[in-house]
Amino acid sequence: MKAQILAGPPVAAALLADAAARASRLPALPHLVIVRVGDDPASVSYVRGKARKAGEVGLRNTVHALPEATSQAELLALIDTLNRDDDVNGILVQLPLPAQIAEAAVLHAIDPRKDVDGFHPLNVGELWAGRPALTPCTPAGIMYLLAHHGVQVAGARAVIVGRSHLVGRPLAALLLNADATVTVAHSRTCDLGAVTREADILIAAAGCPGLITPEMVKPGATVIDVGINRVVSIEGKGHLVGDVHPDVADVAGMLTPVPGGVGPMTVAQLLANTVRAAELQHA
Ligand code: GUN
């Protein structure tokens, strides 16, 4: 039997409709500021997508595109200005940053109340303490997707493959807060297949094309593919593939596609976080 394919766009639309309704009840429309440094093609495309979607749902948005040679001091000065500006509700600095800028210094500098990425150590700590405020967009979007499709999380065995600060670690905290039994596997895990076969909910976030093959999946499991890997076919055409091999559709109960699965949820959750940040600031 083929897995039910969990398309992201209709679920993202539900999340966006809720965010837009909440935004309209605020004294001013929330304002998201996105900062990009340099011209990394993936970052240019992601930032364009985030700004376009913000405009579509009626949020105010501003993009600062800074040159590749921007110094850390210059970027920190801009963040300081945005922190002090009461007209700015959310600040996102697109990662990765050029080598001359220390990522940790930048993430520490963003006002935690405007930290729509949820990467500030205060927000990371609150999440692990079970008091989430602003939580990282991809993991929060995945939790929304699971809830939308009625996937039972409490009591389930959840296995995350990948321990990144953007996805694997915060998702572990969210699943734990939702009463799942959570395992985080990674590149040094021995016998990965034995670990992943335990999962009722399997999340692949390793950045490794086709890593998860059918024999690594428990029949009927819910499989969430976070991989966005650009591969070039023998005809020289570039396309996106996930971390999950397509044949997993023959084993899984539910499966997110790439593209068009988790990606739209990330963008929708960013805008929901922007509305949440504005609500917290107006409270
Ligand atoms: N680069 C890739 N994903 C993300 C994200 O979720 N937030 C930021 N700021 N940069 C990213």
Domains of the chain, by residue range, sit at 27-111, 136-262
Catalytic option among 94, 111, 114, 218: 94
Asked if 218 is an active-site residue, the reply is: no
What is the 213 CA–ligand 1 centroid distance (Å)? 27
**Domain at 136-262, CATH from 1.10.760.10, 3.20.20.140, 3.40.50.720, 3.40.50.2300:** 3.40.50.720
pLDDT at position 141 over 90: yes
pLDDT digits (tens, 9 = 90+) for 151-169: 999 999 999 999 999 999 9
Residue nearest to atom 11 of ligand 1 (CA): 95
Asked if 53 is an active-site residue, the reply is: no
What is the 138 CA–ligand 1 centroid distance (Å)? 9
Q: CA torsion 183→198→225→179, rounded to 10°?
A: -50
Contact between 19 and 271 (Cβ < 8 Å): yes
pLDDT at position 243 over 90: yes
pLDDT digits (tens, 9 = 90+) for 170-211: 999 999 999 999 999 999 999 999 999 999 999 999 999 999
∠44-76-90 over CA atoms, to 5°?
A: 60
One-letter amino acid of 102: A
- Give the model's pLDDT for residue 234: 87
State the burial class of residue 252 (Cβ atoms within 10 Å of its Cβ: 0-12, 13-18, 19+): buried
pLDDT band at 240 (very low <50, low <70, confident <90, very high): very high
pLDDT digits (tens, 9 = 90+) for 26-35: 999 999 999 9
Is the CB–ligand 1 distance for residue 107 below 6 Å?
no
What is the 2 CA–ligand 1 centroid distance (Å)? 32
Tell me which fold the domain 27-111 belongs to: Rossmann fold (3.40.50)
Q: Which ligand 1 atom sits closest to the C-alpha of 96? A: 1
Catalytic option among 115, 117, 225, 243: 117
What is the 46 CA–ligand 1 centroid distance (Å)? 8
Calpha distance 184→197 (Å, rounded): 13
Instruction: State the complex-level ipTM.
Output: 0.96
What is the 95 CA–ligand 1 centroid distance (Å)? 5
Query: Read out DSSP for 84-145?
Result: H-TT--EEEE-SSPPTTS-HHHHHHHS-GGGBTT--SHHHHHHHHTT--SS--HHHHHHHHH
pLDDT band at 94 (very low <50, low <70, confident <90, very high): very high
Is the CB–ligand 1 distance for residue 166 below 6 Å?
yes
Asked, colleague to colleague, whether 27-111 and 136-262 share their fold, the answer is: yes
Name the residue of 95, 110, 138 whose CB sits within 8 Å of the most ligand 1 atoms, as the mutation to test its pocket.
95
- Give the model's pLDDT for residue 107: 98
Asked if 179 is an active-site residue, the reply is: no
pLDDT band at 81 (very low <50, low <70, confident <90, very high): very high
